[in-house]
Amino acid sequence: MPGLRSLRSCSVPYYRGADCCVLVYDVTSLKSFESLNYWRDDFLTEISIPNGKLCPFVVIGNKVDLNNTMVDQEWVKLWNRDNGILSYFVTSAKDSTNVKEAFNTVVKNAFDYKQKTYIYETVNDQKEQNSRLFCCGLFHVANNLF
Domain boundaries, the chain: 5-113
Residues of the chain with pLDDT > 70: what percent?
68
Architecture of the 5-113 domain: 3-Layer(aba) Sandwich (3.40)
Query: Tell me: the pLDDT tens digits for 122-133?
Result: 555 555 555 554
Asked if residue 138 has pLDDT above 50, the reply is no
Query: Tell me: the pLDDT tens digits for 50-100?
Result: 555 688 999 999 999 999 999 999 999 999 999 999 999 999 999 999 999
Distance CA 125, CA 80 (A): 34
Distance CA 37, CA 34 (A): 6
pTM: 0.74
User: pLDDT category, 49, cuts 50, 70, 90?
Assistant: low
Phi-psi bin for 16: left (phi > 0), alpha (psi -120 to 50), beta? beta
